[in-house]
Structure 1
Amino acid sequence: MTDAVQADTRVDPRQLLGAWANSSDEWVRYIVRVVLTGAGPLNSDEEDHAYTLFRQEKALDARELSTEDQLAMIDGEDEALEPLTVTSLSEVAGVNALIGGGVIEPHQGLTILFGENGTGKTGYSRIFKALAASRTADVILGDIEATAPQSPSATIGYQLGAEAKTYAWTGQRGVAPFTRISIFDSPSVSFHVDEDLEYVYVPAALALFNHVIAGIKAVQARIDAAISDLRSGPTGLLGRFPRAASVYPLIETLGAATDLDQLRAMADHHTDADTRIGTLRRTVAALEADTISAEITLQQRAERVLAEASTAAQILGRFSPATYSSELTALAYLQEEYRAFRAALFEAADLPAAPDDTWTRFIQAGEEYEAHLSAHDAHDADRCLYCRQPLSDPARALIGKYSEFLEEKIAGDIEAAKGRLSALTSPVFGIRTSDVDAYARDHATSNPQPVFLPLLERTLSTATALLDHLRDNTPVTADLLAHVAADADGLTEALETTSGALVELRGQAARRAETLAEKKKELVELEAAAELARSWAIIEQQVRDAKQADRLALLAKPMPALLRAVTGLAKTASDQMINESFDALFAEERTALRAPELQVEFVGRQGRAHRRKVLTGKHKPSKVLSEGEQKVLAMADFLAEARLAGITAPVIFDDPVSSLDHRRINEVAQRVAALADTTQVIVFTHDIFFATTLLNLMAASKRCSYFHITDEDGKGQVTRATGPRWDSISNLKKNINETIQAAKSQQGDARAALVRTGYDWIRAWCEVFTETELLQGVTQRYQPNVRMTALPNIKTAALPAAIETVNRVFEEACRYIDGHSQPLPTLNVSPTLAGLEAHWAELSEARAAYLSAGA
């Protein structure tokens, strides 16, 4: 099988790129020229140059750079890689639970690392996967059972070309040149079967397309950044303008569509703008001081006080001292007459004290009680109201005088006189002067004082004096109220004046609010116009920037089409350089591994080649194929990909034959062995048939090393060997004898367990004796060939006796080991040490007899 497939004719990617660039803008041509001449991506300075050329070419900036000439057709060759060979893996620490001291020295051809599940093989394979940055590389953990886990480390010896080197690995992923190692394992099957895979190897010529795309994207990123910067504008510009100004919405929406002529007309460029602003501010401050409102408040209080004083003066003016004195004199006379009548009426009544007002109230209370009893039909005129004793004639006479006293006319006259006095005095008692009193006290020492303050004070004094007379029931002279009428007129006049002043003040206040609003608006507009003039350069620049940002956004629209064009070129080139080659290589590998036929589709994304495998009806292979078919299909894909560039680094297979039948295991072994003839191949496996098949295939070339991985003294113990270790007669004999001796030193369950173990060893001894000595190794487990040359060595005459003994003891041993049932007669019958010794002696004698037969 060849390791490369050549297409008859190929279009050079450099020629494709050059022809396309010559029909594109200058800045694109510059990017392609740099990529083609440097065979790599643009650096930061070159990206800046491309963007500068873009701006000058599009007349965004003045042209300073020279014209980018047409590209001449450039030829080139892909790079040649020095071969990589791993020579050793040692000093492993902190990887899973691998013990230290293990050394693996891979062969330049095939290296087999064989071990059962859980012995530590995976730890070593994970190191290679990390170094190579394999698609299925796992996170490497230390010994999770350790109290202080170590960091992962190992020493890798390798040869790069003719130079021997070492690398101290400390857990890094993707370390050159180990990234060239190709690794196949079970988890990668799904990638190789179902996923749209990008090629691990990309020829340098195809990588040029990626570099061109990266350069175009770099210019695009700078355009986007410039647009963002241009549109951000200076911060704080809007905050310079009052929100109420008419220019504010225009500044708020400042952009490419802004009419600069309109804004310029709104600006105030006069040199005296600041002076006019100062004058307006002082005017507004004066209006905002609001002295009129304070004056209104003062006049409102004066109006309230004058109204209260005027009402009091009018009440005082209506009071008649003469009438009051006359009624007071009449009341005094009636009261004196009443007392004289009362004394004369009861002069002979033998009262304990002279009748006075208290006595009068006593008599009135008795009269009321009598009326109460009469209402309830309970009054007895012959009994005393209080003590309920029978009344004597003198007592009846006294009660009659009581009734006569209460019915006396003088009492009614007195009540009538009191009513007339109350009518005269109640308006005066109702006078309210609290506001007048407070106002008079507040202004007693003020300067200047209100002109009506004397009227207030005199009215307040007159009212107080009059009230004192009325409370004391003393006569009031006309002199006390002689000035009241004049004061009332003065207060009324002062009230009218104050009310008129209030009306005028309120009118002035209303006009002040309108004037203040006008001046404030004028001030806002003047300040905005002046700020517009001061900020004109910034505003003009921001508008220019916004217009340039719009131009840049328009110029950036073709960018996606440019990227698609490069992707299309890359697809054309990859179809010829990769896809066609891969298709042929994949067909070869699929035939060699007997993998199912299917269709490979090649898709390109962003200048990168991808491949996709589908079955009829566009079904994913994993939905149709068996697990074994998927594995060999994935392996065919893996090997075809690895061969694309010519394999110059190790190829590693980690457990490649799980889920495969014996026929396919043999086919995979043959493909791996063929690969190992020209390439370093490392195989991790627990499949003994696969391992022995590989050893047999490599026996002639001797290009093979075998390492056995065990966990006998700790996980990952490495032992160099020639092949899998088989059980031997001598080893089994030793184990049986040691088990018998150990059983003799024990009792009970411990002895019984050892006896069963002894029978397990006897069973294995029977199998090995039959395979190696009775049948002379003609057929052996895990060996694909029958050794016909050994057939004459079988001692046919001695076979029956040996077979009888071996078969009988073997069946007996099977009854005593786990996994074998027993017949009912011997169920629960445990083997004995004596029986074990007897059976071992029979087998030993049968072997000796067979070996000595025909000697």
Structure 2
Amino acid sequence: MQAQVDIRSWLHKQNDWLQEAVDRLLKKGQLDGADIAALVALIKTPDGRKASKHRAFAELSQGNAEHRELRLVKISEISGIESLAPRMPLEFGSENLSVIYGHNGSGKSSYTRILKKLSGKPRASELKTNVFKAAPATSKCHITSQLNGQETVHEWHVGHPTIEALRDIDIFDSDEASHYLTAESAATYIPPIVSLFEKLAGVVEQVRDALTAEQSRLVTSLPQLPAIYDGTPSKRLYLSIGTAVAAVLDEALVWKADEEKQLLALTERLKAEDPAALAVHKRRTKAELQKIIAALTDADRAYAGSCFQSLRDLRQAAAQKRQAAVESAKVNMAELDGVGIPTWRAMWEAARAFSSTPYPQHPFPVTHAQARCPLCQQTLDEQAQRRLEDFEKNVQGKLEADARKAEGLYTQALEALPRIPGDEEIATQCEAAGLGAQEWPGFLKGFWKSAALTREALLNNEAAAPVLPVAPQATNITALAEYSEELAQTASQYDADAVQFDRAHATKEKLALEARKWITQQAAAVRAEVERLKKIKEYEDWKALTNSRPISTKAAEVTLAVVTDAYVARFNQELKALGAHRIQVELVKARTRNAVVLHQIRLKGSQDAKSQPNGILSEGERRIISLAAFIADVCERPGSAPFIFDDPISSLDHDFEWAVACRLIALAKTRQVIILTHRLSLYGVLDELAKKVGDDWKKQHYRAMRIESYGGAAGHPADQEVWNASTKKANNLLLNRLAVAKKAGESDGAEAYQRLAQTICSEFRKLLERTIEEDLLNKVVLRHRRGIQTDGRLRDIQGILLEDCKLLDDFMTKYSCYEHSQSSEMPVVIPEEPELRQDLEALGIWRDQLIKRRAAVA
């Protein structure tokens, strides 16, 4: 089939995810949630969004050989649905053609509405309860059906889901007639090759809905920008996060130190009531800061490793020179070691100072004959005198002087080391210098503690271990210097503010900075929002691939070839079969929606394109056209399912009625056809046409029924034998029913008798009509038969007597009130049993006499 080749070629040009959807539809028929989830996952992949050709789609070439024969068997146990309360089931039997006759209000349309609702028809009316009775506990019914000969009983409650097994039932009523004339509609039966596109459009919509559902869960966590920042540049950035350049956004999400300083400065300036005083304060703060910077700079220079070598050099030089002096002090007369060492020199200098007391007029050492040693206070012999003089000569010599000088330089260098402030002093300095933040006092205390250890090690001449230098402070000194410069600038700014200050402009600047700072504080949320917007964009791109327009376009193309042309041809054939081909109408393709091709009946050749058949044609023409459209729409569905027609000939003349009846008979040859009508003429025509098909066919497939209303309840199947039996048999049946009514009256009272007798009277009135047609006029003319039959019948009519006419006329007058409405001023009185029996028996006797009289003449 060319259409299959064309569809396969079209599919191979589609994205892989769409091909996967078609492949699953061809294999499974319907997709479930797992299938939709798999398609959603596939559409998100790069390969899923590319065309592929690895699928053969072999199922496109496989036909549907399944044959289904569905039949309705009966409707029973109806309760709580409209006014229906039948005493017995409405049975459709095994016949193909069931004709159900009933007066207005007998329940025909109620049965139709039930069948439409439970079979899921799109224009089914809501079912109501009998408004004249108390609401029932439940509204339900039982419906028995056969599928391929297998009988099933379905219990259905109003409001419950459709009975899927009965979806194939086709129903025509006034609502369907109006729909075909006024609305665009899709063909009821769509071949699988075409319905594939409708299913595919549905799957695509499910995929789009699933993507939309996932997308809807991408909820923003971005805080609302405070209204106070509405006029700032940051507001514009905040609103355009999704389109902002990445570099710009990265820059905007970083709050710089200089911005914080600027914000703090603006805040202070705006708070200031006396800018001049604040300028003085800032300069005072700067002065205190300079002290810290100077001390830190000195300590950094003194306690850094670069200065240690000079100290070590001084220490070494002093030690070496002292050693030289000590060595030179080891004179020959020295009896003890250690002469010249520091302790000895200290003792010697102490002796010099003491000597001035006993010998104030003599230079040290005093060595005359009466002199004594200042230390041991013994008299000095010649050797002791020379020893003291040698000691003094050594002390006053050059080596000793050099040693003292070197030691003085080293001591001076140690004393020049910066002093170490205490913690309280550090805290006070920080407070005065505006370094009250915890990190600066903590850092400075830590630094000076490290410097104290270094200083102590240096003072101890690195006796325990080599001294460790403090960490370099260039960075911190630079930071403090920058702060000092800021203080200077701030002071200058306050000086300027004291002269003139644009507070409004400063406020605007401050607000802009605060807005920027607020946005940087939301950096995590902003970046999350950027990712969310990226994800939403991805979902929009994916959803764009679920546009069903290409599917609808292809569906329209295929449907035009496979469905529309055939549908239009069937419609034209039905118009011809129903005798309506002269009516200027045509069935055309209106448009395509979600891969479904919609058709519409329009006037053919109309000069006014807006004119619709519903507003131009007569009621009968509208009815016959809608019936043609309905039959054309549903008759090609595979298998066999019941057709139900509710008053199909409403508003039709006799010619159209005859054509419709012929078409219904033709349909009944292949499937079950159920007709509900209040027109006895249709009943008669169908009876006649069924007989023309053949007596055997009529016996096997024609079923005439009647329903009636009684006591405020409708849908009662009437006695079939009285309705269908010969007039003589019907006469006897009514006599038998009268006997039953009499017994009911005797046991339950007059009301029980009257209830049954009223129905007998109504049936008797109808029997009189049939008696005139079939007995008196010998079936020459029947009201419900199209033709007049004279062959062998007219001869017997000559035997009609005036007495015959009077008898029947009297009975018709007497019993018409039981079948037709009467004035409320003329109450209907049910005849007593003897009177009614007498009339029934009189009619029977008359019929027998008429037959005998005609037989005698023949």
TM-score range, shorter chain: 0.5 to 0.7
Q: 2:683, 2:784 within 8 Å by CA — same for their partners in 1?
A: no
Aligned AA (1:585): R
Aligned AA (1:782): H
Provide the C-alpha distance between the structure 2 equivalents of 1:555 and 1:549, rounded to a whole number of angstroms.
Answer: 10
Partner SS, residue 236 of structure 1 = coil
570-579 or 249-258, larger mean C-alpha shift: 249-258
Aligned to 2:618: 626
Partner SS, residue 675 of structure 1 = helix
Aligned to 1:202: 190
Paired positions, count: 581
Aligned AA (2:235): P
What is the CA-CA distance between 1:591 and the residue it aligns to?
A: 1.8
What's the TM-score, normalizing by structure 1?
0.57
Provide the C-alpha distance between the structure 2 equivalents of 1:843 and 1:257, rounded to a whole number of angstroms.
Answer: 99
1:687–1:289 Cα change, 3 Å: farther
Q: 1:206, 1:574 within 8 Å by CA — same for their partners in 2?
A: yes
Provide the C-alpha distance between the structure 2 equivalents of 1:518 and 1:769, rounded to a whole number of angstroms.
Answer: 112
Q: Alpha-carbon deviations, 1:793-814, whole Å to 9, x = none?
A: 7385x54xx23x3456778899
Partner SS, residue 229 of structure 2 = coil
Aligned to 2:653: 661
Aligned to 1:677: 669
Task: Work out which of the residue numbers 92, 101, 110 in structure 1 matches 2:87.
Answer: 101
What's the TM-score, normalizing by structure 2?
0.57
Aligned to 1:91: 77
Aligned to 2:200: 212
- Determine if the alignment matches structure 1 residue 719 to structure 2 residue 718: yes
Q: Alpha-carbon deviations, 1:256-303, whole Å to 9, x = none?
A: 4424544555665568988x699769957974899x9xxxxxxxxxxx
What is the CA-CA distance between 1:679 and the residue it aligns to?
A: 0.3
Provide the C-alpha distance between the structure 2 equivalents of 1:204 and 1:510, rounded to a whole number of angstroms.
Answer: 87
Aligned to 1:18: 8
Provide the C-alpha distance between the structure 2 equivalents of 1:843 and 1:532, rounded to a whole number of angstroms.
Answer: 106
Q: 1:706, 1:720 within 8 Å by CA — same for their partners in 2?
A: no
Provide the C-alpha distance between the structure 2 equivalents of 1:56 and 1:760, rounded to a whole number of angstroms.
Answer: 77
- Determine if the alignment matches structure 1 residue 189 to structure 2 residue 174: no
Partner SS, residue 90 of structure 2 = coil
Partner SS, residue 177 of structure 2 = helix
Q: Percent identity?
A: 20
Q: 2:14, 2:50 within 8 Å by CA — same for their partners in 1?
A: no
Partner SS, residue 207 of structure 1 = helix
Provide the C-alpha distance between the structure 2 equivalents of 1:629 and 1:516, rounded to a whole number of angstroms.
Answer: 87
Provide the C-alpha distance between the structure 1 equivalents of 2:99 and 2:844, rounded to a whole number of angstroms.
Answer: 37
1:806–1:733 Cα change, 3 Å: farther
Partner SS, residue 148 of structure 1 = coil
Provide the C-alpha distance between the structure 2 equivalents of 1:644 and 1:48, rounded to a whole number of angstroms.
Answer: 36
Aligned AA (1:711): S
Provide the C-alpha distance between the structure 2 equivalents of 1:221 and 1:733, rounded to a whole number of angstroms.
Answer: 67
Provide the C-alpha distance between the structure 2 equivalents of 1:50 and 1:251, rounded to a whole number of angstroms.
Answer: 38
Partner SS, residue 113 of structure 1 = strand
1:546–1:586 Cα change, 3 Å: same
1:237–1:842 Cα change, 3 Å: closer
- Determine if the alignment matches structure 1 residue 616 to structure 2 residue 614: no
What is the CA-CA distance between 1:709 and the residue it aligns to?
A: 0.7
Aligned AA (2:175): P
1:18–1:851 Cα change, 3 Å: closer
Partner SS, residue 644 of structure 2 = strand
What is the CA-CA distance between 1:144 and the residue it aligns to?
A: 1.0
What is the CA-CA distance between 1:151 and the residue it aligns to?
A: 3.4
- Determine if the alignment matches structure 1 residue 243 to structure 2 residue 229: yes
Partner SS, residue 106 of structure 2 = coil
Q: Alpha-carbon deviations, 1:73-131, whole Å to 9, x = none?
A: 53433543532111221101112222243212213411121111112222222211112
Partner SS, residue 553 of structure 2 = helix
Task: Work out which of the residue numbers 55, 58, 70 in structure 2 matches 1:71.
Answer: 55
Q: 1:698, 1:704 within 8 Å by CA — same for their partners in 2?
A: yes
Aligned AA (2:648): P
What is the CA-CA distance between 1:706 and the residue it aligns to?
A: 2.4
Q: 1:578, 1:644 within 8 Å by CA — same for their partners in 2?
A: no
Q: 2:225, 2:235 within 8 Å by CA — same for their partners in 1?
A: no
Provide the C-alpha distance between the structure 1 equivalents of 2:495 and 2:189, rounded to a whole number of angstroms.
Answer: 93
Q: Alpha-carbon deviations, 1:570-621, whole Å to 9, x = none?
A: 1121122212222232233222211235322123222112222222125433
Aligned to 1:607: 595
Provide the C-alpha distance between the structure 2 equivalents of 1:539 and 1:28, rounded to a whole number of angstroms.
Answer: 36
Q: Alpha-carbon deviations, 1:217-271, whole Å to 9, x = none?
A: 45555666787777x75331524x9628955234333334424544555665568
Provide the C-alpha distance between the structure 2 equivalents of 1:264 and 1:214, rounded to a whole number of angstroms.
Answer: 44
1:244–1:720 Cα change, 3 Å: closer
Partner SS, residue 659 of structure 1 = coil
- Determine if the alignment matches structure 1 residue 40 to structure 2 residue 30: yes
649-658 or 27-36, larger mean C-alpha shift: 27-36
Instruction: Please show how residues 413-424 of structure 1 align to structure 2 within 5 Å.
Output: none
Provide the C-alpha distance between the structure 2 equivalents of 1:636 and 1:151, rounded to a whole number of angstroms.
Answer: 39
Provide the C-alpha distance between the structure 1 equivalents of 2:765 and 2:28, rounded to a whole number of angstroms.
Answer: 72
Q: Alpha-carbon deviations, 1:146-204, whole Å to 9, x = none?
A: 13345321111112224321110111463212111000112321222332211222222
1:126–1:277 Cα change, 3 Å: same
Provide the C-alpha distance between the structure 2 equivalents of 1:772 and 1:190, rounded to a whole number of angstroms.
Answer: 39
- Determine if the alignment matches structure 1 residue 649 to structure 2 residue 641: yes
1:65–1:227 Cα change, 3 Å: closer
Provide the C-alpha distance between the structure 2 equivalents of 1:221 and 1:845, rounded to a whole number of angstroms.
Answer: 79
Provide the C-alpha distance between the structure 2 equivalents of 1:767 and 1:123, rounded to a whole number of angstroms.
Answer: 28
> Unpaired segments of 5 or more residues in structure 1?
1-8, 58-62, 293-506, 739-758, 820-832
Q: 2:119, 2:162 within 8 Å by CA — same for their partners in 1?
A: yes
Partner SS, residue 714 of structure 2 = coil
Partner SS, residue 706 of structure 1 = strand
Instruction: Please show how residues 287-302 of structure 1 align to structure 2 within 5 Å.
Output: 287=272
- Determine if the alignment matches structure 1 residue 252 to structure 2 residue 250: no
Aligned to 2:361: none
Aligned to 1:152: 139
1:261–1:269 Cα change, 3 Å: same
Task: Work out which of the residue numbers 71, 91, 114 in structure 2 matches 1:127.
Answer: 114
Aligned to 1:111: 98
Provide the C-alpha distance between the structure 1 equivalents of 2:82 and 2:231, rounded to a whole number of angstroms.
Answer: 74
Q: Alpha-carbon deviations, 1:361-408, whole Å to 9, x = none?
A: xxxxxxxxxxxxxxxxxxxxxxxxxxxxxxxxxxxxxxxxxxxxxxxx
- Determine if the alignment matches structure 1 residue 583 to structure 2 residue 541: no
> Unpaired segments of 5 or more residues in structure 2?
278-493, 740-760, 818-830
1:814–1:592 Cα change, 3 Å: closer
Q: 2:104, 2:678 within 8 Å by CA — same for their partners in 1?
A: yes
Q: 2:661, 2:685 within 8 Å by CA — same for their partners in 1?
A: yes
1:116–1:724 Cα change, 3 Å: farther
Provide the C-alpha distance between the structure 1 equivalents of 2:630 and 2:48, rounded to a whole number of angstroms.
Answer: 52
Aligned AA (1:82): R
Q: 1:10, 1:576 within 8 Å by CA — same for their partners in 2?
A: no
Instruction: Please show how residues 149-548 of structure 1 align to structure 2 within 5 Å.
Output: 149-171=136-158, 172=160, 174-218=162-206, 220-221=208-209, 233-236=220-223, 238-239=225-226, 243=229, 247-262=233-248, 264-265=250-251, 269=255, 287=272, 511=498, 514=501, 527-528=514-515, 530-543=517-530, 546=533
- Determine if the alignment matches structure 1 residue 637 to structure 2 residue 629: yes
Aligned AA (1:575): L
1:592–1:527 Cα change, 3 Å: closer
Provide the C-alpha distance between the structure 1 equivalents of 2:54 and 2:705, rounded to a whole number of angstroms.
Answer: 61
Q: 1:266, 1:529 within 8 Å by CA — same for their partners in 2?
A: yes
What is the CA-CA distance between 1:654 and the residue it aligns to?
A: 0.6
Q: Alpha-carbon deviations, 1:525-545, whole Å to 9, x = none?
A: 665555454443443454465
Aligned AA (1:165): T
Aligned AA (2:10): W
Instruction: Please show how residues 644-793 of structure 1 align to structure 2 within 5 Å.
Output: 644-699=636-691, 700=695, 701=697, 702=699, 703-712=701-710, 714-719=713-718, 721=720, 723=723, 730=731, 771-784=773-786, 786=788, 788=790, 791=793
